Amino acid sequence: MSRIGQIASIVRYPVKSMAGEILRHSVLTEWGLAGDRLYAFESSGAPSGMLRVTGRERREMLRYEPILLPDGTVDVRTPTGESFRVDSEALLAYLQSHIPGVSSLSLTQAAIPQTDVRPLSLISLQTVQQLSDELGARLDPRRFRANLHLDLTDGPFTEDSLVGRTARIGNTATIKILERDPRCRLITYDPEMPHSSPPLFSVMKLLDRRHEGRAGVYASILASGPVRIDDPIEVLD
């Protein structure tokens, strides 16, 4: 067993494709980070199999700030400062009038995260810094929409070497690193100003040219447990 680093930050996305909540502590369940992607919006006019309204096609979604409250409800703060319950008709009406190109919207709710691929995503701050250096521009780690940002001792892209291995976070939570994360155009959007900053297509070109289009890793959860900022990460095998 060897320590390879620690947790730098934890991010939960209560509503799929909206902004994330930065947390000091949370829990990894067998399905993913507790409270992650509990809700998603679907558009009736979208092609079959692509009903969800995502930040890839509607980057305006990234400006909405959901907050998971202690009682389990979710409030969403809009770019214009209003706040609505996520399951309210008022929020549906607001989204339909403020997000271009959507038809009638509906809300989906699930007991487990509505992730596209794997339950948990991770990326190291060292990898983000290396990509920033290669690009010649600072990249905000939030572009990569990972649940866990890692501070690793062995430098950038160390997480790639963990694919197929098992790691423990803190005292209990245990994960299996499954694969490197293939990236889509969502990472070209500035998390602070996605609506007004032009997409940074150069970051996609950089990944395609030097890193097989991948950055960060996906994982599954083998043993549930609490996770906190500064928790140690230890490789078990």
Mean predicted confidence (pLDDT) in 62-69:
96
Separation between Cα atoms, residue 12 and residue 26, nearest integer Å: 9
- Given a cut of 90, is residue 190 above it in pLDDT? yes
Q: State the average pLDDT for the chain.
A: 92
Domain 2-33+116-235: homologous superfamily in CATH: PK beta-barrel domain-like (2.40.33.20)
Q: What are the start-end ranges of the E strands in 88-162?
A: 105-109, 120-124, 148-152
Domain boundaries, the chain: 2-33+116-235, 39-109
**pLDDT confidence tier of residue 47, bands split at 50, 70 and 90:** very low
Place of tokens 């400062």: 81
pTM for this model (two decimals): 0.92
> In Å, how far are 145, 190, 206, 217 from 141, measured between CA atoms?
8, 10, 16, 14
- Given a cut of 60, is residue 224 above it in pLDDT? yes
